[in-house]
Structure 1
Amino acid sequence: MLFSSVVVGQKKTLFTKSTSEKIVIDGRFTEASWANADIATDFIMIEPNNGKPIAQEKRTEVKIIYDNSAVYIAATLYDDEPDKILKEFTLRDDFSVADHFGVLINGYNDGQQEFRFFVSAAGVQQDGMYTEAYGEDFSWDAIWDSHVEITHFGWTVEMRIPYAALRFPSEKKQTWGLNFYREIRRDRQQYSWSLLDRKIENESVQAGVLEGIENIETPTRLFLIPYASQYLYANTSQKTFGEFRGGMDIKYGINDAFTLDAILIPDFGQTKFDNVELNLTAFEQQFAENRPFFTEGTDLFNKGDLLYSRRIGETPDNLTVADNETVIDLPSTIKLINALKVSGRTKSGLGIGVLNAVSEKTSVHIKNNDTNTTRLETLSPLTNYNVFVLDQRFRKNSSVSLVNTNVTRNGEFRDANVSALVWDLNTKKNTYNVSGNIKYSYVNNHFDLEDKKGISAYLNFGETSGKFRHSFGGVYASDDFDNNDLGINFQTHYHGLYFNSSYRILKPNSVFNTFFANLNNYTEFDNRTGRIQSGYSRLNFNTTDKKNDYFGFGATISPLKVYDFYEPRSFNEEKFVMIPDNYNAYVYFSSNYNRKWAIDINPFVTKFNEKGRINYGFVFSPRYRFSDRLALIYNFTFNRQNNNIGWIAFDENDNTIFARRNRITYTNTLQGKYSINNKMNFNLNVRHYWSFVTNHDILTLQDDGGFTENTTYTENRNSNLNLWNLDLTYSWWFAPGSQVSVLYRNNSFLFSRDFSRQFESNLRDAVNNENLNHVFSISVRYFIDYNSVKNSRFYNSFTKPKTRERF
């Protein structure tokens, strides 16, 4: 047996060889090319005992070979108790309770970004990107092939990763960053081929090296993914109707380093529902991005945190109508015409990214309730969204970026432009970091007399290695900084200072497998008045005991009165409300998910220095794994706010009206999955959200941030929100990149001022009312590789020149 996993310049190096054989991905390694391939071995523990060599009976051996289309990985994972290998079936990208093997590839060997490909012992794929700034991001999905086999000595993995799933420079001789990963789930042990030293925060700089890939002639990277979807909608108050949608995704490799992704007539009808809440704050609710195009491969576009992609296709909320008018056909989203992104990196380390999307002009009918006439008004004009990024990497651990976002609306509508300079600088040994950014925003309001210009800045100094780590820095935002056309920003006109310290153990001790403690201190001031807006100290502990049960504890002290300039929602921007000093604490327990029964418990409380004002609640979430195929997770969250104070309205004299109020929120969710195999899954996701608010004291805000009793305002401003969502889905990945998905969804939204406080009646109203919507949809996506089509007999029969017959 030939072992060629060697250390060169203190980095492990694996040498690979080319092959002309056809490699069948079956987990058996029967091709002759595998026999002479070099072997990577001598894995080292990451967690919990960092640096400990893997036991001989659990040794891991990995080989790599390549051809002009892909790299191939063969891993043999020994286990002295193969019958105890955990192998739960899950959806893609869900690690859950299973052993895993992974390969981590950095085509530029620059220590800053890795493409990570994992396979569980059940054969489920997980893939994502790792960057030092953002960690792991599993929203990215590539198209690759894998197969596992459970054996009498452990298990094997065979993988084919096409060059289309990677990024690397256009050079004859390639040198890639490389690491391998193995998790033995029953022991909660993680291993890597090249040691990931927990004293160093950046994982990518600790990778080994892959040598030997030379003179590859990569094929044309052109992939077409056409889709067809059929939707059927039903509602108690409307007729049932159907809708057909069709479109295509295009992925084209401009070269080995740059890729074009485009969607023509996108369809996002089967994306996960949003967890909407009763929002009583001065700010909008922020939602996660669930649309694949805007989550896959967007790490470059997230530089500087200027992109909140939910803005693209978002229905604007600035449509103003008279009291006697009603909007008839308000859509839930603005339709996208198309979207594309081009991204990649030159061999000198310069990353270039362009993201562009166009949404269609959307108009709505507005009915005059007095005259029964309607008028047409533009809700959203034809709009172009653009993000442009230049990101220069250097010294294998640092980068400087220039980012620009632009929103241009057709006609006399608001346009916006934001630019940012972003830096992330690390010392050669990755022990210290200086990071930060400076942003400039410009908004052309058209109808306003003056355009809006503002700046924002952030600067951080940190120690990033060792058991003890510290950081400090500051933030600043001017009055008119505004990046909300394509980003999201909740505060302006403030400056703040912070200091953080943390401690962790790097190896298990007699009590804990892991232990982490963190202390945060933050103070924030209003730029215009100098008043303190926020000030707290927060201490939290996170630990894992010897049974791999997780414990957490945290406490926050806000010892000073602070001033909130946003809750008054007044045109007088210097109006504020005083928030009393307060104290918060929580406890968190999560039992080891390896057990069939597991539970999460999280009680919390916040006490204000004001009579009767307290917030408290808890999260209770049991889960049970019936088998490797069937599992259920239930989550119940209760939250109560007593004597909370918040804005409710303005009266006819433009006084700012607040209320002292009680709020109670119940959230029940149920998640279930049944996996037929690693390609077919049924998933159930149910959520009932009920939150109600009763105002018992009406107050008028004073100029000093205090209140006086208001006895003249009598309008009912109580709130009751019931939300019901149910998704039942079936997913079948019938070929790499090709999927059939079936969705049944029902949902309802009920808001009222007068209501019952009985849970049963609210739940019954949520699931049995005329506003309950039903959606049934079937969607088929099919992955077409241009090279497969080009080499097919069908294609050649039309493209090969015809020979003349002799007579």
Structure 2
Amino acid sequence: MSSQSQILLIGFLFLTTINFAQSNETILQKRTYTTTSIQNMVPIKIDGNIDDEAWNAVEWTSEYVEFQPDNGTPPTEQTKMKIVYDDKNLYVAFKCYQKDPETIEQRMGRRDDFPGDWVEINIDSYGDDRTGFSFTVSASGVKGDEFISNNGNFDSSWNPIWYTDTQVDAEGWTAEIRIPLSQLRFGADYEQTWGIQSTRRYFNNEERSTWQPLPANPPGWVSEFGELKGLVGLKPQKQLELQPYVVGQLDTYEEEQGNPFRDGDDARLTGGLDAKIGITNDLTLDLTINPDFGQVDADPGAVALDGFEIFFQERRPFFVENKSVFDFSFAGNDDNLFFSRRIGRSPQGQAIGPNIAFVDQPNNTTILGAAKFSGKTQDGWTVGGLASLTGKEFAEVIDTVGVERSDLVEPLTFYGVGRVQKDFNNRNSYVGGIITGAIRRMDPNLSFLHSHAYSTGIDFKHNWKERKYYVEGSAVMSNVRGSAEAIARTQTSITHLFQRTDADHVSVDPTRTELTGTGGRFEIGKGAVGNWRYNVGGNWRSPELELNDIGFLRQADDIRQYANIRHFWNKSTSWYRQANLGFNQFSSYDFQGNYNRMQYEINGYINWKNNWWTEAGASHKPRIYSNTVLRGGPRWRWNEENFFFLFSGTDNRKKFSMHAGYVHSDAKQNNFSFRRYVLRFFYQPLNSLSLSLINEFEQNPNKTQYVTESSFNGTPRYILGAIDNESLSTTLRVNFNINPNLTIQYYGQPFIFNAKYTNFNYVNNPTAKNLKERVTWYDTNQISFNGGQYDVDEDQDGVTDYSFGDPDFAFVQFRSNLVLRWEYIPGSEIFLVWSQGINGIGDPSNDFGTIIDNQLLGQQPRNTFLLKATYRFVL
């Protein structure tokens, strides 16, 4: 460990000791509410009017306490709650007092949008202090529902069937909720106690109050719930839902003369089925056959100059719902043993060969079917299983003499994931495991792919001292198998780079047919409660670790140490509501022992009294080495870097609000720099209409951007250039809500990336501190541009020694989605979708305005018109 890290760790431990000695946080008493059955009474009508006789069976509970911003104080407006039940439903009523009903904010939004004033109930029917079900209703009647896992992770992809209505009266507003018991999970005990919590948002003051009082920065969410008693004789309800769908789709695009695959339009009619089957009340089986995700937003535009894969979030409903059950993020960032976007990925093969005239390449692999098994048992077992089969994909080819053929570009593939966790120690601890696999039916034409890919892992977490302190960790192992070609391809990929010329601990073995690696993490810290939060930890990824068949791994061969400490100011004052300030540090090494990176950062956030906010930070990076910049060449040194950022925004409660941000980075000797400008506008002229416009502009010049590798008299030449690259994106979203169940949404984003190269140079001493010693610049007598390529006469003997192509490029993209969504009965929907898309290579010699005119607006977009109808049978 470096002396800097040792000093930081000693200081951290000193602060920890002081804080531990002075820690004296108050433990809040848990509240209890006793409900009763209304089985023999007239059923409650859900209309927002709390006037049914059955409500008189229980008393109101009130005395909500402010959680934010003035923790522990009486709220500006009080709230009341009632809960009753029968053999099929749980009923909840809320009375939200507001002195001036005219000030109730009844903004509309799509499901899970949480607009305006709202109130919610959270239910821990498992009674495990880690898992819950959240039901939210806004004053305008918009529903929100979330599944809560790991004591505080909210998953809004969960969409149960439930019923609600609201009314505004002279005292404020009211809400009624009916939750079918089939949508909850609970045991078979005759008498049960559930955890409950209720939260109200009072929009005028941007204030949160809770029924069960909470300390600022609580040690968890579900573990702090109060108790619901009086539940007697409830019988678990097995869920059985079928949702068939039918889709009609028409694609139109620019016709390509002579190409039978591009005749101007394509049409198709398809159908499929989704099902949700309660195996027990605790465990649910989700099935999908021939799933369709045509209504899902397209990915945003992005370009990666470093050669690494870009991570995009999962958006498909089947894979998003209950995603937390299968999550196994073991080393920070996006690295995970299961990345569901591998299922249905773009085909990895291509139709290649001589005399090809036309190719129809599929964009995605067909998912023939998938099944997902998940839930949590009463004795503390969280289980999840997922299996999916994707079909063979073929590219249709016509050669120059008119012969047609089909080339296999993706084999039949099985994907499987199994996940389990077990609570113990009075639910203060858990231990878990995961196993994943991808198995392909191989074909000689796709021998570059792994035939088998497996990974397994274990994880644990232990909390103590009322969950204030914790220790957690994980360990993983991967194994991939395939032909010698496939394993060699893995060894030389950007993730591994075993061919690095100065790496003694790895080397390419062209005869290997198997690769096994490990990774993991260990961390200890204070998670919450009070004014301090801190941790120290480390993680590793061995050089041989490979997860990208069914998981996500950016870079292997890394060992990292980190430490973080943060102080919170939770009590509001005359000039701010809440604030925090933190310090972060990390260092990294590779498995050869090279000390590659050190970084220090300070950052903070403040929510001003007028509800504006500001976030700022600065970082110093005194040491930056990279094993990947030269794509298999020697380790590379970047110049020392400093950066800072500043973002601020106005009060988001206003009809119009905005954010502005700036990121500034510079390296010594002007090796590279980065500028990012962000401007976001949000406008809600009507309760039913909201608009947002997000603009981002980036500049990232670099004197030593990798271009290619060549050879000079048998010596490798790693050729770099000064790049001047800029990117611009604008994202427009429009939401029009006719009512909570009928919405129109528009999403549109143009994206432009332009990169120009000058001042080419080659690597001389890749780890020299001085940039002038690190590279050598070509002079005008050594390099010349000739017909789309650069010719280099390095020794100036009049003979070209090597050449490389012109690296200048521009990329343009436009994506838009116009979606009408109508939930005509709970759980059953109709989607009408119009999508547009443009992808292309622009002219890098043009400025942004010309690129927009010629390469973006001048192209005919691809249009997709889609009508999708689903019907949800609840059996």
Deviation at 1:226, TM superposition (A): 1.2
1:677 aligns to 2:708 (yes or no): no
The answer to whether the 8 Å contact 1:110/1:397 transfers is no
The answer to whether the 8 Å contact 1:112/1:397 transfers is no
1:117 aligns to 2:135 (yes or no): yes
Q: Which residue of 1 aligns with 2:468?
A: 431
Q: Which amino acid aligns with 2:572?
A: P
Q: Which residue of 2 aligns with 1:629?
A: 688
Q: Which residue of 1 aligns with 2:434?
A: 403
Q: Which residue of 2 aligns with 1:34?
A: 55
Cα RMSD (Å) of the superposition? 2.1
The answer to whether the 8 Å contact 2:358/2:399 transfers is no
CA distance in structure 2 between the partners assigned to 1:112 and 1:546 by the alignment: 34
2:587 alignment partner, one of 523, 534, 553: 523
The answer to whether the 8 Å contact 1:170/1:257 transfers is no
Q: Which amino acid aligns with 1:553?
A: A
Deviation at 1:402, TM superposition (A): 0.7
Deviation at 1:54, TM superposition (A): 2.7
Q: Which residue of 2 aligns with 1:160?
A: 178
Name the SS of the counterpart of 1:17 in structure 2.
coil
Name the SS of the counterpart of 1:299 in structure 2.
helix
The answer to whether the 8 Å contact 1:728/1:745 transfers is yes
CA distance in structure 2 between the partners assigned to 1:428 and 1:109 by the alignment: 20
1:337 aligns to 2:402 (yes or no): no
Q: Which residue of 2 aligns with 1:716?
A: 806
Deviation at 1:374, TM superposition (A): 6.2
CA distance in structure 1 between the partners assigned to 2:159 and 2:451 by the alignment: 35
Name the SS of the counterpart of 2:323 in structure 1.
coil
Q: Which residue of 2 aligns with 1:452?
A: 515
CA distance in structure 1 between the partners assigned to 2:563 and 2:437 by the alignment: 34
Q: TM-score, normalising length from structure 2?
A: 0.85
1:473 aligns to 2:537 (yes or no): yes
Name the SS of the counterpart of 1:437 in structure 2.
strand
CA distance in structure 1 between the partners assigned to 2:640 and 2:348 by the alignment: 34
Q: Which residue of 1 aligns with 2:224?
A: 206
Q: Within 5 A, what are the aligned runs for 1:411-422?
A: 411=442, 413-422=450-459
1:663 aligns to 2:681 (yes or no): no
2:865 alignment partner, one of 776, 779, 787: 776
Deviation at 1:112, TM superposition (A): 0.9
Q: Which residue of 2 aligns with 1:553?
A: 616
Q: Which amino acid aligns with 2:513?
A: E
Q: Within 5 A, what are the aligned runs for 1:322-401?
A: 328-365=359-396, 376-394=406-424, 395-401=426-432
Q: Which residue of 2 aligns with 1:308?
A: 339
Deviation at 1:517, TM superposition (A): 1.0
Alpha carbons of structure 1 residues 230 and 320: separation in structure 2 relative to 1, 3 Å:
closer
Number of equivalent positions = 769
2:269 alignment partner, one of 241, 244, 247: 244
CA distance in structure 2 between the partners assigned to 1:525 and 1:375 by the alignment: 50
Deviation at 1:431, TM superposition (A): 1.2
Q: Within 5 A, what are the aligned runs for 1:719-734?
A: 719-734=809-824
Query: Cα deviations across residues 559-593 of structure 1 (Å, max 9, x unaligned)?
Result: 22x221122222x5xx2222111111111111111
CA distance in structure 1 between the partners assigned to 2:358 and 2:231 by the alignment: 62
Give unpaired runs (5+ residues) of structure 1: 1-7, 787-807
Name the SS of the counterpart of 2:327 in structure 1.
helix
1:441 aligns to 2:493 (yes or no): no
Alpha carbons of structure 1 residues 9 and 466: separation in structure 2 relative to 1, 3 Å:
closer
Tell me whether 685-694 or 447-456 shows the greater mean CA deviation: 447-456
2:709 alignment partner, one of 635, 650, 654: 650
Deviation at 1:648, TM superposition (A): 2.5
Name the SS of the counterpart of 1:251 in structure 2.
strand
1:76 alignment partner, one of 92, 95, 105: 95
Q: Which residue of 1 aligns with 2:79?
A: 60
Q: Which amino acid aligns with 1:37?
A: V
The answer to whether the 8 Å contact 2:539/2:560 transfers is yes
Q: Which amino acid aligns with 1:180?
A: S
Q: Within 5 A, what are the aligned runs for 1:562-711?
A: 562-570=624-632, 575-611=634-670, 613-651=672-710, 655-702=717-764, 704-705=766-767, 706-710=774-778, 711=783
Q: Which amino acid aligns with 2:476?
A: K
The answer to whether the 8 Å contact 1:688/1:723 transfers is yes
CA distance in structure 2 between the partners assigned to 1:577 and 1:316 by the alignment: 33
Query: Cα deviations across residues 602-634 of structure 1 (Å, max 9, x unaligned)?
Result: 011101112363211210112221111122211
Q: Which residue of 2 aligns with 1:792?
A: none
Deviation at 1:65, TM superposition (A): 1.1
Q: Which amino acid aligns with 1:36?
A: A
Q: Which residue of 2 aligns with 1:514?
A: 578
Tell me whether 504-513 or 432-441 shows the greater mean CA deviation: 504-513
Alpha carbons of structure 1 residues 763 and 460: separation in structure 2 relative to 1, 3 Å:
farther
Deviation at 1:638, TM superposition (A): 1.0
Query: Cα deviations across residues 724-756 of structure 1 (Å, max 9, x unaligned)?
Result: 112111111111111111111111001146541
Name the SS of the counterpart of 1:559 in structure 2.
strand
Query: Cα deviations across residues 757-788 of structure 1 (Å, max 9, x unaligned)?
Result: 14244245313314x200111111111111xx
Query: Cα deviations across residues 165-195 of structure 1 (Å, max 9, x unaligned)?
Result: 2222232222211101100011000011001
1:745 aligns to 2:828 (yes or no): no
CA distance in structure 2 between the partners assigned to 1:112 and 1:207 by the alignment: 10
Alpha carbons of structure 1 residues 67 and 53: separation in structure 2 relative to 1, 3 Å:
same
Q: Which residue of 2 aligns with 1:804?
A: none
Tell me whether 416-425 or 276-285 shows the greater mean CA deviation: 276-285
Name the SS of the counterpart of 1:568 in structure 2.
coil
Tell me whether 141-150 or 600-609 shows the greater mean CA deviation: 141-150
Q: Which amino acid aligns with 2:833?
A: L
Query: Cα deviations across residues 314-344 of structure 1 (Å, max 9, x unaligned)?
Result: 0144548468768812211101001111111
Q: Which amino acid aligns with 2:693?
A: Y
Deviation at 1:597, TM superposition (A): 1.7
The answer to whether the 8 Å contact 2:671/2:704 transfers is no
Q: Which residue of 1 aligns with 2:23?
A: none
CA distance in structure 1 between the partners assigned to 2:71 and 2:350 by the alignment: 57
Query: Cα deviations across residues 295-317 of structure 1 (Å, max 9, x unaligned)?
Result: 11221111343221111100144
Give unpaired runs (5+ residues) of structure 2: 1-26, 256-262, 330-335, 444-449, 488-511, 768-773, 784-791, 793-802
CA distance in structure 1 between the partners assigned to 2:61 and 2:673 by the alignment: 58
Q: Which residue of 2 aligns with 1:537?
A: 600
CA distance in structure 2 between the partners assigned to 1:368 and 1:462 by the alignment: 63
The answer to whether the 8 Å contact 2:111/2:144 transfers is yes
Q: Which amino acid aligns with 2:211?
A: W
Deviation at 1:282, TM superposition (A): 2.1
Deviation at 1:518, TM superposition (A): 1.3
Deviation at 1:368, TM superposition (A): 6.3
Q: Which residue of 2 aligns with 1:3?
A: none
2:310 alignment partner, one of 285, 301, 306: 285
CA distance in structure 1 between the partners assigned to 2:398 and 2:220 by the alignment: 58
Q: Which residue of 2 aligns with 1:494?
A: 558
The answer to whether the 8 Å contact 1:14/1:38 transfers is no
Alpha carbons of structure 1 residues 192 and 629: separation in structure 2 relative to 1, 3 Å:
same
Name the SS of the counterpart of 2:589 in structure 1.
strand
CA distance in structure 2 between the partners assigned to 1:134 and 1:74 by the alignment: 24
Q: Which residue of 1 aligns with 2:34?
A: 15
Query: Cα deviations across residues 7-50 of structure 1 (Å, max 9, x unaligned)?
Result: x9931111111122322211113322111223321111110011
Name the SS of the counterpart of 1:540 in structure 2.
strand
1:131 alignment partner, one of 149, 162, 177: 149
Deviation at 1:132, TM superposition (A): 3.9
